[in-house]
């Protein structure tokens, strides 16, 4: 999981701005659950969001199925890594001129990649091939690149939106602390745990909902179900664009005010 807190949080003012209200986090959690589940079913148990899960899949494949598909699973790791490297360079470049627009740009990029993921699946029909086919590598690679974008921007949100293991652990931890705080009447700990739980449970529910809808959608719609996360990610992008515009307008007004005062 990549966290660019120092690079992204400051430019877009996520922690104190409207994005703090979980809208983007919930939308992206739904996207992650959907794309990961759809990819796992359609692409021979390949993970797109939970990228390190491909190590387990590849090793199990080598032991139990003679290595069929192991290369495909292993290839997703360098694809993911190279994408993150390129995104880091992009972020560092944008910080100099478009600081307020970094999150909006990355979310728009992810939306376009998810559209490409759908188009590639329709055209190449990877599930009709094999786990080691070039079609699976291409379609899976596009899905991994799309989710690498989301993993990269995870650091600017209140919680992670891709892999839920950490969020599940923190939910249990804060549930325990919340119960203890109620018994000991520790108001500060009670407020902190309550706030954390209010952030965590919508994220996990959205991820689970995305996975459930993907499983149903694959049966009823086939590849066409891959269009489902496109509007959710687009909505997150539009939300980020709105915040960026608001921030730019405020900055311009502040600049005008300073000029008039002088």
Per residue in 76-106, pLDDT (tens digit) is 999 999 999 999 999 889 888 888 888 899 9
Reported confidence tier of residue 4, pLDDT bands at 50, 70, 90: very low
Reply yes or no on whether the pLDDT at 259 is more than 70.
no
Reply yes or no on whether the pLDDT at 169 is more than 80.
yes
Reported confidence tier of residue 254, pLDDT bands at 50, 70, 90: confident
Query: Taking residues 59-72, what's their average pLDDT?
Result: 83
Distance CA 42, CA 87 (A): 27
Residue 168's Cα: distance from chain center in Å? 16
Distance CA 81, CA 112 (A): 20
Burial (0-12, 13-18, 19+ Cβ within 10 Å), 64: exposed
Q: Report the first-to-last Cα separation within the chain, whole angstroms.
A: 47
Residue listed under structure tokens 């705080």 = 181
Reply yes or no on whether the pLDDT at 253 is more than 80.
no
Calculate what percentage of the chain has a pLDDT beyond 90.
55
Q: What is the pTM of this model?
A: 0.85
With beta carbons less than 8 A apart as the criterion, state whether 98 and 91 touch. Answer: no
Please provide the DSSP assignment of 16-55 as one string.
TSGGGGSHHHHHHHHHHHHHHHHHHHHTTS--SSSTTHHH
- List Cβ<8 Å contacts ≥24 apart for 244-252: 244/12, 244/100, 244/101, 244/103, 244/104, 246/18, 247/12, 247/13, 247/17, 247/100, 248/100, 251/100
Calculate what percentage of the chain has a pLDDT beyond 70.
88
Residues 95-150: tens digit of each pLDDT: 888 888 888 999 999 999 999 999 999 999 999 999 999 999 999 999 999 999 99
């Amino acid at each position: 999981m990549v966290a660019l807190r120092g690079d992204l949080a400051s430019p877009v003012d996520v922690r104190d701005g409207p994005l703090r209200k979980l809208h983007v986090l919930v939308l992206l959690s739904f996207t992650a659950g959907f794309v990961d589940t759809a990819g796992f079913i359609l692409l021979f148990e390949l993970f797109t969001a939970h990228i390190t899960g491909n190590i387990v899949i590849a090793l199990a494949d080598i032991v139990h199925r003679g290595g069929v598909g192991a290369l495909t699973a292993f290839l997703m790791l360098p694809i993911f890594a190279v994408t993150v490297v390129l995104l880091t360079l992009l972020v560092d470049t944008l910080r100099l001129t478009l600081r307020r627009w970094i999150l909006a740009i990355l979310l728009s990029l992810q939306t376009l990649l998810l559209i490409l993921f759908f188009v590639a699946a329709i055209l190449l029909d990877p599930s009709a091939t094999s786990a080691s086919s070039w079609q699976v590598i291409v379609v899976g690679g596009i899905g991994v690149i799309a989710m690498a974008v989301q993993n990269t921007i995870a650091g600017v949100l209140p919680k992670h939106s891709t892999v839920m293991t950490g969020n599940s652990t923190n939910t249990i931890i804060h549930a325990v602390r919340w119960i203890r705080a109620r018994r000991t009447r520790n108001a500060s700990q009670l407020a902190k745990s309550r706030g954390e739980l209010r952030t965590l449970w919508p994220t996990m529910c959205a991820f689970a909902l995305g996975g459930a809808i993907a499983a149903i959608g694959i049966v009823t719609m086939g590849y066409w179900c891959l269009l489902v996360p496109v509007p959710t990610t687009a909505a997150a992008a539009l939300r980020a664009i709105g915040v960026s515009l608001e921030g730019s307008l405020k900055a311009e007004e502040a600049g005008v005010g300073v000029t008039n005062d002088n």
